[in-house]
Every structure is written in structure tokens, then in C-alpha cells.
Structure 1
Amino acid sequence: MKTVTPLSFLAALTLGAPASAQDAAVSPWSKAAYSSMRLIAGATAPSGKQRVGVEITMSPGFKTYWRSPGDAGVPPVFDWSGSENVGGLDVRWPTPERFDDGAGSGIGYVGDVVVPVSVQPIDPTRPVTVVLKLDYAVCDKICVPAKGEARLWLEPGVTSVTSPRLEQFEARIPHAVKLGAADDRLSILEVTHSDAAVKLVLKAPEGGSVDDVFVEGAGMWSFGRAMLMPQPDGTVAAKLRIVERPKGATGPTPLIITVRGKPQSVETRLELDIGNAKP
């Protein structure tokens, strides 16, 4: 990453860098045919990391995609290479939903979304300039490629900035959990597999619900729509067909399992020995 020089600092000012923390809260909109994108800021976290959101709004009826987009979707591609004083970024995805997109079952967001990003400064005492070039797709009956560019100047240690939009979607980030029962949240009790499917046993607390399950594997792993089957003991059995697997896959396979539901979606990461199973 580049360091901040007097020239780059002046350039940031000419591109709308703020004179106050309140002015720093949003970048201008970057408009495409059926959507717009911008960056929004939150207060600096106690850890010193900067909180940023990638906000996308879409025309009525349009959707955009999650990191694992489903049958035929296109995941967004983030290019942060123009950023300054940034040592690392962690994109933290809100829980998606499943929808029909004309090419099958897509996974993503309808109407609008804010994708929270945690930014680690190289030097926490100095300003951060976050620069994003985003390639993404928005779909109604057909998919349309879209591009957006945005820049946001962040002053260090600012705790007075508030962003209800960012906070709303931060609250939709799945909670990281381990296998096992809990009384106050969705529980992933068991994960197994057959030759052709991944199987889960799930449980929601009183008043909660299990609404969908998404399974991800690195590379060419692909999993179908979850079949949810309520059981007499109050649990929910879920089955996801293995649609595609990497050629020659063997041994334990790292998986990310996201359970959408109430009161809060959850996510777990584990390894399952499905590499040797036949489809």
C-alpha cells in the first residue's frame, strides 16, 4: 500500500475529503445503469480498525450477489489497490437470501445492501484513504454487469461518526459458532454426509426459525438448495445435494456453513471428509 504524501493528501481533499468527521461519513454515489454504489463510514472501532460499508442500491426488482452466488450468479470483485495506509481489509458479508434470477436459484440481496468492511490501518495514528473499484452484477430477468468507483477519507480515532445504515447491516452478519446446542441462538448440532449430499441437524430456540442453509467449499465445490425437514423432537434436518466437486478431490474438505434464520443467522467453519465420496 502507498503511504500518504502531501501530494496524495491534497488529491484526497480535491476529491471531497472532509473537513470534519461528519463530512467523512459517505462518498459520492457511483452510478451504473440499474444501480449505484458508495462507501459509508462508521466510528473507529476500539481496536483501532476503521469501519466502512460498501452500499449498493438497485432499481425495483433487481438483485445482486453474495460471495457464493448460486446457480449462475456473479460474485462481486473488490479492488482496493488504490487505498493508502491500509494494511488489511476484512469483508464481512451480511446474511443473504435465496431468489430466482431467471437462470436458476441465486443467492444474494434484493433492492439494496451494505457490505461491512473492517479496515486495518498500517499506522493507526494517521488518516486512511479507502479506494474501491467494484465489479458486480445486478439482475432482474437478465443480468447486467456494473462497475463502481468510490473513495473515502477516514480520520483516525473518530468515535463521533454514526451510520444507521452500516449498523443495520452489521447486525445481519452471521454469528460465528461451533457445533453444539445453545438455548438463545440457532444451533448446528451435527454435520454429516452421504455419497451425494451434506446433512445437518439444526435447532432454533423458542420463537426462532431455521429458514435456509448455504454450504460453501473452496474451488469447484457446489451445493444445491437446502431441503428442510422438521423433526418430531423439535430439530430440523437439512439436506444439500453435492452438485459439483473438484476433480480428484480427496480427504477432509474445509466448508463454511451458514444457517439463515431467527433470532440471528449463524456460521460455522469445519472440515468434512467428503473428498472421497462419489456424486
Structure 2
Amino acid sequence: MKNLFRAVLFAVLAALSWLPPAAQAAMSQWAESEGGRMRLVVISQPRNDAILALLQIEPKPGWKTYWRDPGDAGMPPQLDFAGSTNLVLRSVSFPVPEIGQDDGGRFVGYHQPVSLIVEFAKPLADAPSTINLNAIVGICEKVCVPFVASFSVPLKPGQPESEEFMQLQLAQSTLPEKPGKDFEIRNLHLSINEKLIEADVAIPNAQAPQVAFVGPPGLRFGEVEIDAGADKIAHIRIPIISEKAQAGRTITMLVKSGGRAIEATLALR
């Protein structure tokens, strides 16, 4: 059903792309680079007391871009919204990435167009707001090319947003699902000797899942070790090879299993 929903959205967006752009639409022009393009799309009407925007990144065929942690090579997106007006950044959500191997080693990222969903609080509900973004995104073929672009998009609450809303719906359909009892990250903690980060993960089947994660700044990690058995519990161990982890610091972990994916940001215990 989710795949059918995405297919319908793709068809609608393809049709919309042939129409002339709406006047004063809340989206930037495309910024172009050797390996692709990107733009900022803003949904000006608040949803659940939040302002949402999309950073759309489209690598050219044969090129790729990256998740929060790129793997062994590449660079994750660096997004600076500090110059925005009457908006406070809450979160940036990433689509489910590919996890695999390429010429650079372990790869976590995307070979296809992706949209990062950015959520803001708007402190003054009736005051004007503008999203200002300075972005550095890794776009790579055989070598990586930092893609640098700046965007400034004012919110336009009175303008029609049908295309922007469809873009948002499509982006939301690519996010990891919410953890549930049959698929969740449990018992994230430091080992007694503080040399490992360990977690138990309830998974949909008995096969070992794929795992990607981002830890606190300053920590470096070894190769992830994963054991999975018939009890549908995967035991994950992440060696710490630099500095020392501390309880209370957070880990963002993404787990893919059985065609599904979850992500959670948890504090170490």
C-alpha cells in the first residue's frame, strides 16, 4: 500500500512538473553543480505547531550523496539555518538510506533524489519569517565534490501550496517507520569497561539487520558486530576506538530488516 501511495505521488508530481510555476511559490530556484542540483521547498502553513521545509537533493545518474554518517568516505550534509528569521530549528529527518559497499568502502547514502525534512518552531505566530540556509552537501561520483549553496525563502502563508504539500507527502513516505513492539531498539548502553556501545533490537525476522548510526562528536568507532537468532533479537556491539563515551550522550541509530527500517535517537546508559 505504501509503495502504491508513493507511485501515485510520483505520477502527480511528474504531471505538476510540466505546469508553469505558481506565482510567488515558497520554493527556491534550483542550485546546480557538476554532480547534481538542490533546492529548498517551504510549507508556509504551520502543521502541528511546526513549520516544515524540504531540502531536495538530486544527484545526476552515476552520482551519490550521503546520510547523517556517510560510511567510510564522503561527507554528510552540513546545514546552517542560523540566519533564519523568526524560526528556530527543531530537527532534520533523513529518508531511509542504502547501506552497502562501494569503491570507497562502506557506504551509507543515496543514488537517487532525496528530500530532507526540516522542522522549525515559529516563536511569533503572526510575524514574518524567512528560512535562510547555507548548505554544504557531498555529491560524489569517483571523487567527491562539495556542493555549496545558499537559499533564502520567505514564508508565504496566503499562497496556494498544493505542489509543496505533495512534495512533503512524498518525502514523508520515504522516512523510517516509528518503532513498535516487533521492531524497536532496546537497552542501548555502555559496556562495563566502557569500550563498547551495545544494544538489543527486536527485528521482524531472524536475519541479521543492517545498521547505521551517528554518535557524539569526538568519538570514533570500529566495525559494527551483529548477532541475530531465531528469537528475533539482534545483539549489536559498536567498538569505541577513540576517546571515552559518557552516559547521557546520545546515539542516533538506524536499523533495516525485512524491507523495513526504524530510527531512534537514544541516550546512553
Structure 2 length-normalised TM: 0.75
In structure 2, the CA distance between the partners of 1:245 and 1:157, relative to structure 1 (3 Å rule), is farther
Give the secondary-structure state (helix, strand or coil) at the position aligned to 1:165.
Answer: helix
Q: Say yes or no: does 1:152 pair with 2:153.
A: yes
Larger Rg: 1
1:202 partner letter: V
In structure 2, the CA distance between the partners of 1:229 and 1:157, relative to structure 1 (3 Å rule), is farther
User: Please, which of 250, 254, 279 is the counterpart of residue 249 of structure 2?
Assistant: 254
| CA shift for structure 1 position 145 | 1.4
1:259 partner letter: V
RMSD of aligned residue pairs (Cα, Å)? 3.1
Query: 1: distance between equivalents of 2:211 and 2:78?
Result: 24
Could you list the per-position Cα deviations for residues 55-111 of structure 1 after superposition, in whole angstroms to 9, with x for gaps in the alignment?
010111211122222223222222224432223342223333324353322322222
In structure 2, the CA distance between the partners of 1:254 and 1:89, relative to structure 1 (3 Å rule), is closer
- Equivalent residue pairs, number: 244
Give the secondary-structure state (helix, strand or coil) at the position aligned to 1:166.
Answer: helix
Give the secondary-structure state (helix, strand or coil) at the position aligned to 2:46.
Answer: coil
In structure 2, the CA distance between the partners of 1:167 and 1:225, relative to structure 1 (3 Å rule), is farther
In structure 2, the CA distance between the partners of 1:198 and 1:52, relative to structure 1 (3 Å rule), is same
In structure 2, the CA distance between the partners of 1:197 and 1:82, relative to structure 1 (3 Å rule), is closer
Identity across aligned pairs (percent)? 26
Structure 1 length-normalised TM: 0.73
| CA shift for structure 1 position 29 | 0.1
| CA shift for structure 1 position 49 | 2.0
| CA shift for structure 1 position 209 | 7.5
Q: Say yes or no: does 1:171 pair with 2:173.
A: yes
Query: 1: distance between equivalents of 2:246 and 2:105?
Result: 30
Give the gaps of 5 or more residues in structure 2: 1-20
Q: Which residue of 2 aligns with 1:83?
A: 84
Correspondence 1:147-226 to 2 at 5 A: 147-156=148-157, 160-161=161-162, 162-174=164-176, 182-183=181-182, 186-191=183-188, 196-205=195-204, 211-226=209-224
Does structure 1 conserve the Cα–Cα contact (< 8 Å) formed by 2:255 and 2:261?
A: no
In structure 2, the CA distance between the partners of 1:123 and 1:110, relative to structure 1 (3 Å rule), is same
In structure 2, the CA distance between the partners of 1:251 and 1:40, relative to structure 1 (3 Å rule), is closer
Query: 2: distance between equivalents of 1:250 and 1:82?
Result: 32
Could you list the per-position Cα deviations for residues 128-156 of structure 1 after superposition, in whole angstroms to 9, with x for gaps in the alignment?
22122211211122111111222222123
Query: 1: distance between equivalents of 2:220 and 2:245?
Result: 16
Query: 2: distance between equivalents of 1:149 and 1:209?
Result: 43
Q: Which residue of 2 aligns with 1:135?
A: 136
